[in-house]
Structure 1
Amino acid sequence: MNRFGTNASNQISFKERGDAIINLSANERIQIIDIIRGIAILGILFVNMSFYSSSLMAISLQVELWQGFWNKSAELFRNIFIDEKFINIFSFLFGFGMILFKEGAIAKGRRFIPLFSRRLIALFLFGLIHGWFIWYGDILLHYAVLGFFLLLFHKCKPRTLLIWSILLLSLLPIVILMSGNAGMPASSDLSRMGQEAMKHDTAIYGSGSFIAIQNQRFIDWNSTLINQILFYPRILGMFLLGSYFAKRKILHNISGHLRLVKNICKCTGLFGFGLIMLGVFTQYSSNPVIAGWHDFLFVLGMLVGSPLLALFYITFFALLFQKENWKRRLLPFSFVGKMAFTNYIAQSVICTLIFYSYGLGLYGKVGTFAGLWLALGIYILQLIVSRLWLQKYQMGLLEWMAYPHLFTSIPLKIS
């Protein structure tokens, strides 16, 4: 295996967030994948901002924490366009990346399964560190665990991958809707529990000692662990959908699959937004009969509409990228996307320092509207830093640290 910096035409670059990709040369990168990953990092930060600054229990109980027109508008915007969509994109990219990784490994004469398994183990360890000591809402560990299940499908034909993807994505909606527990009913008891949880967590995260924060962080991590396991079928389903796209090479050659990409974009956008908007309509309806359908349609929108909209965003940005004027506008997102692992962890470090008591102690003091602007500001900073970093280095710092056995120094960029 060549070292970085020794041969520009035979370099191996490793990328985290579970979707490590081996590239034969820099100009062979699929730019749209880095761009979509970079956009997804922004969307995930928008969502995570509430969890950085507010009680996990209160959010889980769907307690309204912020009043006012702008906060309500920001929450509605996030519910329609952001929530659940971008984490599905990341899951898609994980599966997509595994196929690229396999193809690259085979082309280099490397053994794919041992090599990919080591990546998953590294991802698992980083996930533990992230979840236990930085922020409880880690997703890396779960991607690593499900990555081993994904390996069972790496030899499957595209059609098989698509069938399994549809089955897995359908499993959770069918189980929940058939059980009759489609949503969480609003009640004064739940509201009171949520308010008490917010006061409790604000006291700990906002003004408590580091030890108290660490104890609560581990409690919240356990809560998210159970919740994430329930969503494993959906995550694995999106992995397989990404693998299907990679094996079909749809995003490798968008112009060659233009009609297919356009049809996917139209259909997923129509049905995805349709399901989401039905949930919104029933939520604000004054008709008790219509409002009674809210829980059912809310779950349908989250579990079916969100994956559809994730696919809509992927194909929509892929189509935009075919236009020269939009290509220039979208390319900056690739800087963040190329350092997705580093930027994902950095967001947790930055935000916990802003909200927790060992930093600025702003926990429980930043509403939804202000949180969106704060997230945008952090992202712009990451975009600038990522661009400056990539002018000198081929990968992000944490991408390099994840595989210390491969490198003796951070690989310089080859001009």
Structure 2
Amino acid sequence: MKVSSTARNERILSLDFIRGIALLGILFANMAFFKSPVFQLQSLPGELASLPADHLNQWAVFGIDWFVIGKFYPMFSFLFGLGFYLFYERMREKGLDAGKMYSRRLYFLLALGAVHLLFIWSGDILHTYAITGFLLLLFIHRKPKTILIWGIMLILVSAFLLGVLVTTSNLFVAYQEGTAFEQDAQNAVSTALSTYSSGSYIDILSFRISNEIPIVLSNLLLSIPNILGLFLIGLYIGKQGFIRNAEEHLSFWKKLLLFTLMSGGLLSGLYACLKNGIFSIAPWLSNGLAEGLNIIAGPLFMLFYVSSAVLLFQKPAFKKLFQPITMVGQMALTNYLLQSIVCIFIFYGFGLQLYGTIYAATGILITLVIYAVQTLLSWFWLGNYDQGPMEKLWRRFTYK
């Protein structure tokens, strides 16, 4: 039997729109990592909780923390779990070995993520998704209620563990002012700034391999349970038919929208206040509470974004108006990788050398320009081809 990827007229357009929105949010969130030494600053005493001096960048940082940080990697994770269910059911309906076909997809994603992580950017998420994705096979035949319980519990446990870990780490850092540890941390920040801003590609590659990639890989133990929990929320939504038959479940989406707006919105606002030291409590405690809290607040607010998109997509006029964003989402893998490639050439030493010189408000502007160009490129590409280039390679590897 010849198998092909989902035809364009079979696609669930609301999902492509949500992917398009997720790509914008991911770029907003990742911009700080592209333009500044975030990995190294985390170990520097006195950098635990602070806002910029000028009002424009203060509002930019606060707004990003409230509405973006921790909301869009959960959105991609949610979509991954949902997409897994839709793919698995499609293969099963055709009488194929759905587990084997799905595993092929993950092998491709793992290889692509490894290349992205090693040769392009330390913030890759694809390798984590691929590794965690194999665990989804353990849940495909479970009841929806069981899947939902597992998902919620994994997220709550991850929030607790991250909160304790960050609080403990920050408490240690807070007591290192004036010590050799602080000097080493300052040297690490200075080295990162000089390497990324003026180093060659080989210099930067060597620095990332020795200083950042080990941190990324060691974080897998903490990130996999959290991401699996988010995958399971998407799997639950898929099994319940809430997306595929959204018009039959409008009451569910309306209730979810109101609940997540109130809970996710308020908790995310609290996270932003804690993260930026607005409350008069110790920075090490404030930041630890913030990071743990956002593991819960982020997915809740993410579901507000998702439910808003699903409800808006019941209106034909909305589908037409936001078709360009839908096209960006149809090429999500290609556009995700393209964002990394464009940003490293903007900020790194072998490109425009803007690393360490851009503040939050300017970063927002750069994000919007990059995304606007990606929208135009996606519109042009899908006007001539059925799929994005990386999506086509992924399809060929999956279906042989």
TM over 0.5: yes
1:39 aligns with 2:42: no
Q: Which structure 2 residues correspond to residues 115-194 of structure 1 after superposition, within 5 A?
A: 115-176=101-162, 181=167, 184-185=170-171, 187=174, 188=177
Corresponding residue number in structure 1 for 2:65: 79
Distance 1:99 1:195, change over 3 A: same
One-letter code aligned to 1:356: Y
CA contact (8 A) 1:355 1:361 kept: yes
Query: What secondary structure is seen at the aligned counterpart in 2 of 1:12?
Result: coil
Q: For residues 183 and 329 of structure 1, what CA distance do their matches in structure 2 show? A: 47
CA distance in 1, matches of 2:118, 2:284: 40
8 Å CA contact 2:273, 2:279 repeated in 1:
no
Which runs of 5 or more residues in structure 2 are unaligned? Answer: none
Q: Which residue of 2 aligns with 1:265?
A: 257
Q: Which stretches in structure 1 are left out of the alignment for 5+ residues? A: 3-10, 14-22, 409-415
**Between Structure 1 and Structure 2, which shows a larger proportion of helix residues?**
2
Structure 1 position 103 matched with structure 2 position 103? no
* Partner of residue 360, structure 1: 352
1:202 aligns with 2:193: yes
Could you say what secondary structure the match of 1:51 adopts? helix
1:330 corresponds in structure 2 to 322
What's the counterpart of residue 368 of structure 2?
A: 376
Q: Corresponding residue for 1:294?
A: 286
1:413 corresponds to:
none
Aligned to 1:49: 31
| Cα gap change, 1:116 to 1:191, in 2 (>3 Å) | same
Q: Is the 8 A contact 2:277 2:286 kept in 1?
A: no
TM-aligned CA deviation for residue 269 of structure 1: 1.6
> CA distance change for structure 1 residues 323 and 293 in 2, over 3 Å: closer, same or farther?
farther
Contact 1:275 1:297 in 2 (8 A): no
Contact 2:104–2:397 (CA<8 Å) still a contact in 1? no
Cα separation, partners in 2 of 1:76 and 1:179, compared to 1, 3 Å: closer
What CA distance in whole angstroms lies between the structure 2 residues aligned with 1:367 and 1:192? 25
CA distance in 2 between counterparts of 1:89 and 1:205 reads 30
Query: What count of residue pairs does the alignment treat as equivalent?
Result: 389
Of 34-43 and 314-323, deviating more is 314-323
Of 32, 45, 60, which aligns to 2:42? 60
Q: Which whole-Å deviations, capped at 9, do the CAs of 1:186-213 have from their partners, x for residues lacking one?
A: 8456887665433211211111132211
Aligned: 1:212 with 2:203: yes
Distance 1:180 1:198, change over 3 A: closer
Larger deviation: 142-151 or 208-217? 208-217
User: Which is worse superposed, 387-396 or 203-212?
Assistant: 203-212
Paired residue type of 2:27: L
Structure 2 residue 330 is the aligned partner of structure 1 residue 341 = no
Distance verdict in 2 for CA 1:386–1:280, change over 3 Å: closer
Q: For residues 296 and 405 of structure 1, what CA distance do their matches in structure 2 show?
A: 42
| In structure 2, distance between residues paired with 1:147 and 1:279 | 29
RMSD of aligned residue pairs (Cα, Å): 2.5
Q: Is the 8 A contact 2:257 2:307 kept in 1?
A: yes
The answer as to whether partners of 1:279 and 1:294 remain within 8 angstroms in 2 is no
TM-score under structure 2 length normalisation: 0.90
Deviation at 1:329, TM superposition (A): 2.8
- Structure 1: distance between partners of 2:74 and 2:167: 23
Could you tell me how far apart the structure 2 residues matched to 1:123 and 1:47 are?
22
Corresponding residue SS for 2:149:
helix
Q: In structure 2, how many angstroms separate the alpha carbons of the residues matched to 1:209 and 1:260?
A: 53
* CA deviation vs aligned residue, 1:230-254 (integer Å, no higher than 9, x gap): 1211100000110000111101122
Q: Distance in 1 between matches of 2:310 and 2:204?
A: 42
- Is 2:164–2:288's contact at 8 Å kept on the other side of the alignment? no
Higher mean C-alpha deviation, range 132-141 or range 247-256 = 247-256
**Whole-Å separation in 1 of the counterparts to 2:370 and 2:92:** 39
CA distance in 1, matches of 2:51, 2:118: 26
Equivalent-residue separation in structure 2 for 1:286 and 1:406 (angstroms): 51
2:11 to 22, 29, 44: 29
Q: CA deviation at 1:255?
A: 2.1
Contact persistence 1:182–1:299 (CA under 8 A): no
Q: 1:212 to 1:67 in 2, by over 3 A?
A: farther
CA–CA distance in structure 2, aligned partners of residues 36 and 203 of structure 1: 38
What is the aligned counterpart of 2:385 among 380, 389, 393? 393
C-alpha deviation, 1:103, in angstroms: 1.2
Question: What are the Cα deviations for residues 352-389 of structure 1, in whole angstroms up to 9, with x where unaligned?
Answer: 11111111111111111101110110011001001110
1:257–1:201 CA distance, 2 compared to 1 (3 A) = same
Specify whether residues 266 and 371 from structure 1 end up closer, same or farther in structure 2 by C-alpha distance, changes over 3 A only: same
Residue 8 of structure 2 aligns with an amino acid whose one-letter code is: A
Confirm whether residue 310 of structure 1 aligns to residue 296 of structure 2: no
Percent of aligned positions that are identical: 36
